[in-house]
Every structure is written in structure tokens, then in C-alpha cells.
Structure 1
Amino acid sequence: MSHVSRRGVTRRTLLAGASALVVAGRASAALPADRITKVAPVPMRDVTLKPSPFADAFAANRRYLLSLDPERLLHNFYVSAGLPAPRPVYAGWEAQGIAGHSLGHWLSACSLVVANTGDAAVAARLDHALAEMARIQAAHGDGYCGGTTVDRDGKTVDGKIVFEEVRRGDIRTGGFDLNGGWVPLYTWHKVHAGLLDAHRLAGNRRALPITLGLAGYLAGVLEPLSEAQMQQVLRAEHGGLNEAYADTYALTGDPRWLRMAEKIRHRAVLDPLTAGRDQLAGLHANTQIPKLIGLARLYELTETPQHAAAARFFHDRVVRHHSYVIGGNSEREHFGQPDQLSKRITEATCEACNSYNMLKLTRHLYAWQPCADWFDTYERIQLNHILAHQRPDTGQFVYFMPLAPGARRSYSTAEESFWCCVGSGMESHAKHADSIFWHDVAPAGALYVNLYIASRLDWRDRGLALDLDTRMPAEGEATLTIRRAPRAVQRIALRMPGWAAGATVALNGRPAAATMRDGYAVIERRWRAGDRLRVVLPMRLRAEPVADDPSLVAFAHGPLVLAADCGPASAAYDGMGPALAVDGPAVAALRADDAADVHRFTARGALGEPLTLSPFYAQYDRRTAVYFPTFTTAAWVMAKPGYLRAQAERQALARRTVDVAYLGEMQPERDHLFTASKPETVQLHGRSARKLRAGETITLTLRRRPGAAVLRVVYWGDQVKDRALTIRVDGTPVATERREGPAQEGFVAIDYPLRAAGEQGKSAAVVQFAGETGEIDLYEVRMMSAVEAESPSLT
């Protein structure tokens, strides 16, 4: 084998009109030729996933998409238009002012499924939703079609009032609201983008007229605004509105939409990036990424070089200076200082929406410059974050991907969550076939194999068909078998990943005559049915240190990030996370486990405990440790006493704990007979919670031991002040929680002593929380055996 090194309805009807994501929609002769895009993905209709973790994720996601009722997602839309709502609204975010964002992602996800597989059931469900949206829009009569609501004087009113106020120049925002509405422009973008995808990808003829009505209504609101007024509007999170208008221009050639796309430029963020300045620290991460995707799209349509400069600079800064080892970014949804991650490895790292959007941005940049490095980034995020964030059995999603030692994943519920990351998750797992194969836009160009995902290609436009068989990421080998080929010479370019030093390529069992170009092994020949290309990508173990603390390392094997198994997610974790004492390189602490798969390693922790490391993404129901403090054996002698003290405190808590319920999570709530007068799940500060308002109740049952006990409740610190709730245990009032003094920072655990119950023979306690004033989020309720009185402590 040659050694290559790496350098720096019918299906056809349903798919009519569907096209690739990056270059979709060049429908109007009014547009100039796209001279920017050098490569494009092979249309999804030509790619079929074979059995793999990606196919499992796609199938689970399809089941979830079909389980959702579009009439429930449209509930607020009907009400806004004065039409009877045939079905009740969903709970969670859908029951709040942000209703509609899920619908937009659902439209896009369904369109992706139809574009990929021609799925008749999904296409029919999509068509019904669009028919209802057309009816709703017609009832408004002005192009409006939205589900935003807003609270005014204690009443929930139609959010259309926000847009009409803005039209008049009445603009108020605190960053995540616009005139009191929760991110109405963000939600509007999701719907606009979903309609565009229904037109471009699913080929549904209902979608474009709705899109143009929607675009026209909002443009009518924003066009009269002065530059200063527009910048005030853009302080509110507005998603990728600039991208949506740019794509609408690309479809129609109407310059009105291009003017709108360029008007939606948030200068406070985009001007510094255009100038090459990283001022991201403190900014809400996912608010910013779509703005850069929009600039990238505008660059493709206008060739304005500043747009490209900003997009490239932003991508480089986020990937190289603001991202964790799994490819995700942000802590508690915000960027920190560049290259300062060691103190930001918490339970609130890596919001999934951020990675969804970074993958979109990466595709644009790759389309302009087809170098394999872009897909090294793409692969890292897709394998280690996106695959990790969806349970392949239920199809439910994780908001934050916690990287703190001993952390576990908190999954959405089917009908009570609808977080932003549920919406983007629907899309992420509908598009696993969209970036495997790319091609040169120029005629007779190369076919690029960018992702080694088991699949079948039937490339109709070029007459090439092949099978890509691989067990990636489980092993570093792949075989391409030609089934059909054109008579002309065809180039196939195989990505040689940066992690695969010493990769080899063979053609029909012999070393391939490959030319290396931009990180690809390029083989040019007249292909024949039965030709086989075999790629071997050696997987080696490596340590990746944190920039601001090189003694804190993560491990990867080939493309996969490894994590230590810290026990089942259902069990409490009483450790600090494993440390390693090793003289020499950190990888010397790990040993391959020959009895298991190639990605399984063992190690001995600094305290002598056995450790097993395996791919992080697949540890769906385990607590994990991704980053490891490392010491030389001499340094460990000095550090050990402090480490042991902190470990002992955690272990003491574990011994005292009888039972614990994590609120806002499906299985823990079921296990504790959870009921609520108004069940609203929230995901804030890196954890799930239940919101309790005045007049509402939450009840659950926890185990207890005989004798006195302590009930520990975890709140968010600034919510305890000036708000009140009453706690009852077995019907007896225990406390009315109302704290005076300054608000506390972070999570706060407050203990409530309970009387001895052993003589009554009770093994369980019914705990009820009743809201008195304001609203409080309840994160965790823990039943513990009693010790001497303790003061409230930060967790």
C-alpha cells in the first residue's frame, strides 16, 4: 500500500426542486454567477445512510419528528390569527412567549428528511403544516404568521403588538427581549428559515408564497427605521435573519431582500470581527454565530471581501481559542476570555445550538476553500458533540454538554421541554447524509469524500455510484466500491484526517497512485464497476492540554475524545474527578485494553483507583470525566492532602444522602411520583429545573431513613431573595422560605430539618412546595440523614 502523508407522491416528485444547502436556490437569472463557491455537497437525494451510529440517530430523530403534532406547534399561530386552535399547545418553551422556534426547526428537519429519503409520511406531515400556515397567514391578511406572545399588565397577549410597536419606532430591549417579547426576531428567523428549506429541500410549492409574505411583513416593519433605531433592534437576539433574507434574495433576485439582509448588520459585534478583533468575551455565544453565517452567505452573493474576512476570523477564534476538546464552545451560554478554559470546565459547557451553527459556518468556509482542515473541525464536532447530544433510543436531546468531572447528561422530554437545543437537535440529526460527499462545482471536477460514514452514493448528475463501507468511528478503515462509473476520467479525493498520521490508500489491493492536494489523496482514472479503494487511517492516542493550564489534559484516540467512566448517571457522584500521577508524557498513564475494542483504555488514578476510558459520545447514561489534572509523582505528594480533604467532604455528603430528585428530568421525576399544578420545565445555569410561581404547587415523594432528617433544596441564589414558597412534608408545614440580605451568587443549597419519623414506621415522605410570591426555579431536592445544624452552603 502506498504511504500518503497529510499536509498543513413518488420519490422523484417529492424531491423535485430539492438542492444542496450551500448553493441552493440560484433560481433567478437576475443573479450573477456564483464565483465564490468552489465545491458543493452532492445532493442528499443521492446519498443513503447504511447501518451506523449516524443512521441510528437519523432513525430516532425521524420517529421524534413524526411524533410531534404540527397543529400543537401552531397553537399560538391559530390564536394570533383569530382562528380556533384545533389542538392544545405543548408545554415547556412552547407554552411561553418563544413559541414558534420549534416549528421552524421542525420544518427544516422534515425538509432535510424528505430531501434525503423522499419519506412520504414526513412529506405529508410537512405539507399539512404548510397548508395550515397558509390559512393562518391569509387570516391575517398582511403576511404576518407568528406565534410570539407577550405579557402585558399581567395578561398574555398576541406578540404581533411588538412588531407594530417597532414599526412606529417604539423600541425597547434588554438583549433577550424586544418590547417585552422573548426573542421574537430569533423565533421569526427560525420560521423563515424553515419555510425556505421546505421550498428548496422538500420542493413543496406551498412554502415560497408563505415565505414571501413573511419576508414582506417584517421588511415593512424594519425598512423605515433609521440606522440608530435598527441597531437598537439588533441588540435583541435575532438569530440568522440576515442569512434568511440573503437566501430569499438568492431565490427571487428581488433586490429588496438583499437590502434587508445588509441592513440587518449588528455593528457592535460584526464591525470588530471584520477588523480582526476578538471581543467575544462576555457575549452570548449562540446569539453571535448566526450573524456570521449570514455574512458568509452575503459574501457568496455580493463578493464583498469584508464579509468573508469576518466569517473566517470568527471561525478561527472560536475553534482555536474558545472551544473545548469535543469541539463545542461556551460556558453558561457565553464566551469567556480566549484561551482561558481551565476554570470554565463545568456542568454548563458546550450549548448544542452553538455546535449546530458552527457546523453550518464551517460548510460555507469549506465551500470557498476546499481544504481538508475544515472537515477535521467538522468531524470533531459531529462525532464528539452532536452524536453525544442525542439519545439514539428516544431521540431526546441535551442542552448543555457537561464536561465537569462526574457530570451526567440531562435529556429533554418529548412534550415538555422544547428548548432551543431540541429545535436545533431535530435538524442536526436529520442531516447526517448532507456532508459525506462533495464535488467541484466546475464540470468534470473531483468527488470529495469528507466524512467516513457508511453510505451508498448514486450520483445521478455524474453517473457515478459507489458504496462506502466502514465501521468508523469504531475502526480506522474504509472501503469504497465502485458500482457504476461514467466513461470519462473521474477524480476521487479522499480526506486524509490530521489525526491519521501514516494513512494509506490501496486500489484493488495494490498501492494507489495518489496525488496529495490540500489534505486529500486524489486518485484520477477511468473507474470501472468493481474497483475498490481501501483507506487505512491509523488511530493513535494523544493528549490535548488546556491552553491556560497544560497540566490539565484530555485524551483522544483517532477522532474520538475519551472519557473516564465515573459510574451510572442514576447514582450520586461523590468524587472530585480522577487525577493522574505520571512522570513523562500524559499518554503514558493510559494502557490499551486488548480484551475490548480499540478505543478502550485503562489507567490507575493518582489515588490508586482503576479507571476505564472509552469514547465520550457513547456514554449516554454514565457520569464521565473528560479533563484530568496531571501531576508528577513528586508534585502529587504535595497536592494529595488538599485533594483528599475535598474528596472526603463529597463522600460524607454521599453517605448522608438517602434519596435525591433532579427536577426537570423525566426519569427522576417519574421515580419520585412527581406532580405539579402547572408543569413547566426550564434549563438554566446548566441544569434542568421546574419553575414554581405564586399559587402553584409541586409534589414529590422521597425515601427517608428512620430518625431525624434534613431536606436540602437547591435554588439559584438570586431567586431566593424577595420571593417566597412554603414547604410541607407529609402535610405538615416545615418552612416558608424567604431570605433577606443581598442575593447570593451561583447555586445555593438550603437545609430544612425534619422531625424523627422512624417511630411512625415511615420509609417515605411526601414533599410539597407551594409558591407564595414571585417565581422560583427548583433544581434538586435531597433527603439526608441528620447531623448537627448546618448553614446554607454553595454547591
Structure 2
Amino acid sequence: MMDMDTQRGMDGTTAVDRRTLLLGGSVLAAAAATPIAAAPSPGPRMRPLPQGSVRLTPSIWADAVEANRKYMMSLEPDRLLHNFRKGAGLKPKGAIYAGWEDQSIAGHTLGHYMSALALLHAQTGDEEAHRRLRYIVAELAETQRAHGDGYVGGTTLVRDGQTIDGKIAYEELRRRKISRNTTVLGGFNDSWVPLYTWHKVHAGVIDAIQVAGVTEAMPVLRGMSDYMVGVFQPLSDAEVQTVLDQEFGGLNDSFANAYAVTNDSRYLAFARRLRHKAVLDPLAAGRDELAGLHANTQIPKVIGLARLYELAGDPRDADAARFFHRTVVENHTYVIGGNSDREHFGKPRHLSTRVSDRTCEHCNTYNMLKLTRHLYAWQPRAELFDYYERAHLNHVMASQNPADGSFVYYMPLSSGARRTFSSPTEHFWCCVGSGMESHAKHGDSIYWENGTALYVNLFIPSELDWKERGLRVRMSTAFPYGETVQLDVNRAAKDPLTIALRLPAWAAEPSIKVNGSSTPIRRSGGYAMLTRRWKQGDRVELSLPMSLAVESMPDDPRMVAYRHGPVVLAGDLGDEIGAWHGLAPALLASGPPSSPEPVDRGRHVFELRDAAPGKVTLRPFFEQYGRRTAVYFPLMRNEEWAAKERAHASNEAERRAVEARTIDLLQPTDRQQERQHGLRTQDTEIWSYAGRGMQMAWWTPGSFVESSLKVGSGENLLRVLYWGEDVNTDFLIEVNGEPFIREKRLAKPIKDFVAVEYPLPRRLIAGRDTMTVRFTSAGSAASVYELRTVKPA
């Protein structure tokens, strides 16, 4: 959610690929304080078995939960609570964390952390998670009492160069002052998306109650809810729509859930009032107008519609949610199940030109899986979990490094790219928050029930204790590295019961054995239905043979990706640190590509032998945490490849010429080079693009990137590498503490790197062996991909 502007205007062509995964008003705007009657609820037809009844057994998912638990336990609640206490006039008990927690969005991590603690306790029974959650609730209650009006928040804002408490933004909103920010941050009244941050804390308090049973959070929930309802009460409907133009998370969802918890109809009325008509009305009418919109701003709004349908029963809300889900999956989704490029949707079914290092924000998939669960609860369609499995395995599992529990923001799909993982205490991106939640709940969607049947949707080793029906089962499988799923009945239900096993679309010829004997498959809605009076010791074996599949882009059939069963494969291009100078691999073929040759089918290892510039080893994409990868492969004729090689050779000759002139070099995100050059930063981010790492100083006052560089005798130039689309900037370059260049980057945007060489005045470097270069924000971000001192050409 780096780019917070929800308005249109991003150029681009996005879309999905290949096969179709899924086939297929007006809103009450009563005053927020006016109680209304809820329509009869349609009620879910399916219910997930609660996490507390599911325990994961050894697997990659259990490893992910444990890595996440260790990371979460390394965080200090008092540091996450810093701004909450400070804003309430109380002495903070811990120093503030860096990164987003030291920006205007501060506090969002605490909300995610609360939800993740609740989920972790439910998933594992970890008592320390529960203790921490109770402690945070007590701290929030204390800050709420100090405010005296129900307010709870860690948001800040910057005015006149000073950081102040963010409560003023809400109070100005109450007074009907709505000043939209002009920066990329979006938001209003100088605050970065304050409603988004509010939603995260609001949802965290609700999860403390609903998931973890922390009932002492109820007064905090009521106080927060009443405060926000009061802020919006004076606003006209038109003013509400103006506010909703900014990212507000799933505030309509959390207020619908606040109604479910408290039965206070004011909260339901307020949830209905938070209907962003500009986005939701076209969806309700069956129109895909998502192109140019910030993707994760929209998904939570639709989750809110789904929840409102469940509580109030308006079928138009359900229709809009179904249409949105189907549209995103069919028209805007990449092979790994994620969506968006640089956080925005593009034109429907135009994806091939939007493959970059910044595809597939994790938060998008985290929310799409939430929405999938709602839709499945209404109608148990197996294809919904075909999508869920694809995104869960290939995107969510790729987004956490199980070695240390760190997280990825964007999931790069461009050839030669590698993942950028968060640091433990310096980033706190939105995707760190959603990552903590995602990897605390891998058992929440395996098993579902409708009272008469147990539905098995995900093949994750686990034990289920369905106390209401007296059934206990254990699922054993090496999936995704094995094709057999075994279900053992350890305690049988008294009455006959149906066990429904999902038959994935990728498994062409599934088979089933019950107690060692082959059993004909009775299919229903994508499931194998097994109905009998189960006995202790019964065993079901489901065989799901995996085969290779090729999936092409919808707008370019000559750009393809590979899949083995549910596992998306990617070329392993090595672990090179720094800038990547290789050639993106292609397939030399005038017709359909040849099939990869198996190396180790069980581990999903194959070899592309008709690739150029040489054979490519394919491995599961999700597990290539520290590797450079190639997911999509263009099909090229020999003459096309020859032209590409000539262009690459020319670029390499130019690079070698620059190397020959180079006195010193710093490639950001290369930790060894950063240490050697004494890199210093304040309020920065690390990203990558087109195979290169980047340090970005925020657009907020005082943000900078600083490094030392060697200088030589005679004339020297400072050579800076920018991305060509980063134009209309405003930042200051200083040398040895003196202003040097005010860089505006007034140029036509291009999709390539641009090198700018600045002659260094002798007075700045005379008598020196090194100089200090600092890039400081003067109103925009300063993004640096490479720094060199060079001699003249």
C-alpha cells in the first residue's frame, strides 16, 4: 500500500492469464447514530472448523507458523504501543520502532499484531500469545481512559515540519474539514490514510474478542466504535464519499463485525454508510472498472460487502462480491494467484506488459483469500479452493522466509529478480502485518462442515477434533511433494457422516481407496463424497497424480509459465548479489514449446533444454527464497533471439566502458558494499526493480540516504542511476554537507534505467580521498539504484 492514491491515472495493461479458474444498488445512508433494523441473515451454508480444533503436524506450513511465532515473540508490545501512549499523554514504555512505525501510518502494525496473536493462540494454544494480547488490550484501555472520549490511535501527521499526534485529523473531520493530501500518500488533513490504520486496530480488538475470547476488550471496542461513529455523524453523504476516496481498509467490514459482536445496530448502519459508491456501484452493476485503481484499497471494501450480506441479507451485496472475485481471478491474476503491478490493477486480461519486480503485493492475496472464504461459505464450490490453494501455496508461502520469519512486500515475477525481505525491526510494511496474520492461521481453511458433512479442502498435514460430531481424524501427506493424501479416523462419529474430499482441477485422474480397497468416486460439485458409518481405524487414501501444464498470458500466447500439479515452477537463475546483468531466458520455438524434462518429479525439478541462452532448471517458485528466478518465458524465433543477444551485447559493452571509468561504486541493498561505504539512512525503504536493488528516502521531511564514495585526482563526476519513470521529483543532493544539486527529474518517463552524471566542483573534493553524498527529500521520494564516482568519458 505504498501508493495510497485510489484514483485512476496509472498507465498500464494488467490481467490474468490462461485458463478460467472460476465461472460463474442503492445503499441505506442513514445517519450514523440512527438505529436501523437488520434484514434477516441468509446464514452461511458452510463453516470452517475453528482453528482451535485443528493442530498442524510437521510440514512446510507448520514450519512457517513456528518461524512466524519466533518472529512475533521477538517483537516488544511496548514499542508498538509507543505512539498510543504518547498521544494519550502517557509516558511510553518502549522506544518507537523504525520504518512505517516511525511514519504517519504508525499503529497499523499493532492492529495486525493483535489479530496475529489471536490467530496464533487459536492455531497453537501458545499461552504467551494470549498473555501478550491481554496486555495490549489493557494498555489500549488505559490510553482510552486518558483520552476520555473512546479514541485509541497511534497515527501521527506532519505539519510545518513537525510530527504531531494524529487525533487532530479525526477531530478536524468531525468539524467537516476535509483537506485531501496532494502527496502520493493520499489520506486527508495531512495524515497518511488514518482510517486504514484505524481499521487495523479496530479489527485487532475484534479478533481479540472473537478469536481469543479476551472479553475485557469489549469496552475498548465500544469506545472505539462510538468515537468513529461520532466523527462521521456530522458529515453529509457527499462528504462521506469524499473521505472514502482515500484508502480506508476494511472499515465497513470491521463495523459489520462490531455489530455482530455487540448487536448495536448503529454499527451496522455505519458499516452500510461506508459504501464507496464510485467503486462498489459499478461492481454491483457487473462492470469491471478496476483499471488504474489501487488494488488493495478495493479488496477490503468488497470483503465488507460480503460480511454485510451475511448479516443483513441484501443479495446485491453478494452479487457484487461474487462479481468482483470472479473478475479479479479471471481478469487480473498472475500464475501464482496474486494480482496487481506496482499495487494497481490494469486493463482486464492485459498482463504480459506488467511483469516486474513489483507485482503481486502480499496484502492483496491475503485479502483475496479472506473474500474466497466468504464466497465458499455461501456455496461450497471446489473451484474456489482451486484458486485458494494456488494463491496460498505459490504466493503466501513464497512471501515468508522460513529461515527467519521475514516477509516480502512485492512478489517479483520478472526474470532475474529476487525477493526483498523485511528486516526484523526496520520496515513494518503493511505486508509485514498481513504476513504475521497469514502465517499464524495455516489451519483455518483445511476443514469445513455444514452439519452433515466434513469437507476437506486443503492438503495440509494436521489433526482435527470435531467435538460436536465426535469425529477425530488425522491427515498425513507429503504434499506438495507427494501425490497421496491419507485420512485416518482416530475417533468415529456415532451417526453416518459424509467426508467430502476436494478433487483439484489439476488432478486429471484421481483415485480413492478406503481401507486398502479401491472405491468408485461419487462426484458432486468437485468433491469425492464418501458417506458411511465410520469406525475407528478407518483409512482413506486419495491419490492426486500431478502432471505438467503450460499456462500462457491471455494477451500474449507466446509468453508462458509452467506448473506441475498445483506448484508453479520458475527458472533458477542463481543467487547473484547486486545488479543482475544476465539475459532473461526465452524458449526457442516457432510453435508450441517443448515439455520440460523431469529431473526429480517428487521435488518438482525439471529442465528446459530448448531455452536460450542455455538450459534452465525449473524448481518450485515458492521455495526459491534467496534466488533469482524466471517465471514467465517468451517464445522466440531464432532471429528474434539473435536480435536480443545483439542488444544485450551492446549494453554490456557500454557497461564495461562505464566500469573502466569507475573510481568507486555502491549498489544499494548489497549489504557488504553498504557497510564498506558507511551507508546511513533515515526513513528509507529498500526495494528492487528490473533486477536492481534500491534505497529510497521517503518524501517526508528529514528523510535521507547517505554514503561515502572514493574520489580520484583530476576531474570527477557523480554518476547516479535512476529508474526512468521516476520523474517530476524534488530532492536535494549534498556533497560533504554542502548543497550540490536540487534534482527535479523533469523528463519524459521511460521504462528503463537512466544514468545522470553530475560534474563535481573541485572545491567540494579538493584534498580528499573520499566524499560524503547525501540524498534528502525536499517533497518527493529520492530513489537511488546505483552510485558511482567516475572519470570523464
Q: Does 1:566 align with 2:570?
A: no
Q: Does 1:691 align with 2:697?
A: yes
Secondary structure of 2:272 counterpart: helix
Q: Which of 669, 682, 702 pairs up with 1:678? A: 682
Deviation string 1:635-662 (CA, Å, 9 cap, x unpaired) is x133133211232245446656588655
Structure 1 window deviating more from structure 2 (164-173 vs 268-277): it is: 164-173
Q: Does 1:464 align with 2:471?
A: yes
Q: Which of 546, 554, 569 pairs up with 2:553? A: 546
Q: Is the 8 A contact 2:721 2:784 kept in 1?
A: yes
Q: Which residue of 1 aligns with 2:542?
A: 535
Q: CA deviation at 1:50?
A: 1.1
Letter in 1 for 2:388: Y
Secondary structure of 2:489 counterpart: strand
Secondary structure of 1:243 counterpart: helix
Q: In 1, Cα distance between the equivalents of 2:22 and 2:248?
A: 39
Q: In 2, Cα distance between the equivalents of 1:591 and 1:754?
A: 55
Q: Is the 8 A contact 2:208 2:217 kept in 1?
A: yes
Q: Does 1:725 align with 2:730?
A: no
Q: Which of 616, 619, 632 pairs up with 1:627? A: 632
Letter in 1 for 2:281: D
Q: What are the within-5 Å matches in structure 2 for residues 606-625 of structure 1?
A: 606-625=611-630
Letter in 2 for 1:726: E
Secondary structure of 2:380 counterpart: coil
Q: In 2, Cα distance between the equivalents of 1:430 and 1:772?
A: 37
Deviation string 1:261-310 (CA, Å, 9 cap, x unpaired) is 10000000000000000000000000000000000000111110100010
Q: In 2, Cα distance between the equivalents of 1:589 and 1:705?
A: 54
Q: Does 1:373 align with 2:383?
A: yes
Q: Which of 483, 486, 490 pairs up with 1:479? A: 486
Q: Quick one: structure 1 residues 85 and 626, their matched pair in 2 at CA, closer, same or farther if it must change by over 3 Å?
A: same
Q: What are the within-5 Å matches in structure 2 for residues 744-759 of structure 1?
A: 744=749, 748-751=754-757
Q: Is the 8 A contact 1:293 1:361 kept in 2?
A: yes
Secondary structure of 1:134 counterpart: helix
Q: Does 1:65 align with 2:66?
A: no
Q: Does 1:207 align with 2:207?
A: no
Q: In 2, Cα distance between the equivalents of 1:284 and 1:491?
A: 43
Deviation string 1:435-494 (CA, Å, 9 cap, x unpaired) is 011111xx3x11011000111112222211111111111122111111111221111100
Q: Is the 8 A contact 2:341 2:354 kept in 1?
A: yes
Q: In 2, Cα distance between the equivalents of 1:695 and 1:145?
A: 28
Q: Which residue of 1 aligns with 2:339?
A: 329
Secondary structure of 1:493 counterpart: strand
Structure 1 window deviating more from structure 2 (163-172 vs 614-623): it is: 163-172
Q: CA deviation at 1:118?
A: 1.8
Q: What are the within-5 Å matches in structure 2 for residues 494-533 of structure 1?
A: 494-533=501-540
Q: In 2, Cα distance between the equivalents of 1:379 and 1:709?
A: 55
Over the aligned positions, Cα root-mean-square deviation in angstroms equals: 3.0
Q: In 2, Cα distance between the equivalents of 1:248 and 1:108?
A: 15
Secondary structure of 1:523 counterpart: strand
Structure 1 window deviating more from structure 2 (273-282 vs 570-579): it is: 570-579
TM-score (norm 2): 0.88
Q: CA deviation at 1:709?
A: 8.4
Q: Is the 8 A contact 2:494 2:533 kept in 1?
A: yes
Q: Does 1:307 align with 2:317?
A: yes
Q: CA deviation at 1:559?
A: 0.3
Q: CA deviation at 1:689?
A: 2.5
Q: Does 1:159 align with 2:150?
A: no
Secondary structure of 2:95 counterpart: coil
Letter in 2 for 1:293: I
Q: Is the 8 A contact 1:416 1:680 kept in 2?
A: no
Q: Which of 569, 578, 599 pairs up with 1:593? A: 599
Q: Which of 557, 564, 568 pairs up with 1:557? A: 564
Structure 1 window deviating more from structure 2 (163-172 vs 670-679): it is: 670-679
Q: Which of 263, 288, 293 pairs up with 1:283? A: 293
Q: In 1, Cα distance between the equivalents of 2:237 and 2:124?
A: 45
Structure 1 window deviating more from structure 2 (744-753 vs 147-156): it is: 744-753
Q: In 1, Cα distance between the equivalents of 2:713 and 2:653?
A: 19
Secondary structure of 1:279 counterpart: coil
Q: Which residue of 2 aligns with 1:234?
A: 244
Deviation string 1:658-679 (CA, Å, 9 cap, x unpaired) is 886554x484576545442635
Q: Which residue of 2 aligns with 1:361?
A: 371
Q: CA deviation at 1:718?
A: 4.7
Q: Is the 8 A contact 1:713 1:778 kept in 2?
A: no
Q: Which residue of 1 aligns with 2:254?
A: 244
Q: Quick one: structure 1 residues 782 and 537, their matched pair in 2 at CA, closer, same or farther if it must change by over 3 Å?
A: farther
Letter in 1 for 2:390: R
Q: CA deviation at 1:88?
A: 1.2
Q: CA deviation at 1:574?
A: 1.4
Q: In 2, Cα distance between the equivalents of 1:779 and 1:231?
A: 37
Q: Which of 176, 195, 214 pairs up with 2:205? A: 195
Secondary structure of 2:557 counterpart: strand
Q: Which of 44, 48, 55 pairs up with 1:37? A: 44
Q: Quick one: structure 1 residues 772 and 374, their matched pair in 2 at CA, closer, same or farther if it must change by over 3 Å?
A: closer
Q: In 2, Cα distance between the equivalents of 1:345 and 1:263?
A: 37
Q: Is the 8 A contact 1:727 1:736 kept in 2?
A: no
Deviation string 1:135-173 (CA, Å, 9 cap, x unpaired) is 000101110000111112222221111111111111122
Q: CA deviation at 1:251?
A: 1.4
Q: What are the within-5 Å matches in structure 2 for residues 48-197 of structure 1?
A: 48-174=55-181, 176-197=186-207
Q: CA deviation at 1:576?
A: 3.4
Secondary structure of 1:280 counterpart: coil
Q: % of aligned pairs identical? A: 47
Structure 2, unaligned runs of 5 or more: 1-20, 24-36, 763-767
Secondary structure of 1:258 counterpart: helix
Aligned residues: 744
Q: Quick one: structure 1 residues 708 and 628, their matched pair in 2 at CA, closer, same or farther if it must change by over 3 Å?
A: farther
Q: In 2, Cα distance between the equivalents of 1:42 and 1:608?
A: 50
Q: Quick one: structure 1 residues 169 and 533, their matched pair in 2 at CA, closer, same or farther if it must change by over 3 Å?
A: same
Q: Quick one: structure 1 residues 640 and 718, their matched pair in 2 at CA, closer, same or farther if it must change by over 3 Å?
A: closer
Q: CA deviation at 1:780?
A: 2.2
Q: Which residue of 2 aligns with 1:769?
A: 774
Q: Does 1:643 align with 2:649?
A: no
Q: CA deviation at 1:770?
A: 5.4
Q: Quick one: structure 1 residues 567 and 754, their matched pair in 2 at CA, closer, same or farther if it must change by over 3 Å?
A: farther
Q: Is the 8 A contact 2:81 2:110 kept in 1?
A: yes
Structure 1, unaligned runs of 5 or more: 1-5, 9-29, 757-761, 790-795
Letter in 1 for 2:103: Q
Q: Is the 8 A contact 2:709 2:770 kept in 1?
A: yes
Letter in 2 for 1:386: V
Q: In 2, Cα distance between the equivalents of 1:100 and 1:161?
A: 16
Letter in 1 for 2:682: K
Q: Is the 8 A contact 1:295 1:308 kept in 2?
A: yes
Q: Is the 8 A contact 1:713 1:781 kept in 2?
A: yes
Secondary structure of 1:151 counterpart: strand
Structure 1 window deviating more from structure 2 (506-515 vs 45-54): it is: 506-515
Q: In 1, Cα distance between the equivalents of 2:364 and 2:169?
A: 27
Q: Is the 8 A contact 1:512 1:523 kept in 2?
A: no
Q: CA deviation at 1:778?
A: 3.5
Q: In 2, Cα distance between the equivalents of 1:435 and 1:696?
A: 42
Q: Quick one: structure 1 residues 419 and 320, their matched pair in 2 at CA, closer, same or farther if it must change by over 3 Å?
A: same
Q: Quick one: structure 1 residues 161 and 487, their matched pair in 2 at CA, closer, same or farther if it must change by over 3 Å?
A: same
Letter in 2 for 1:479: Q
Letter in 2 for 1:622: R
Q: Does 1:420 align with 2:427?
A: no
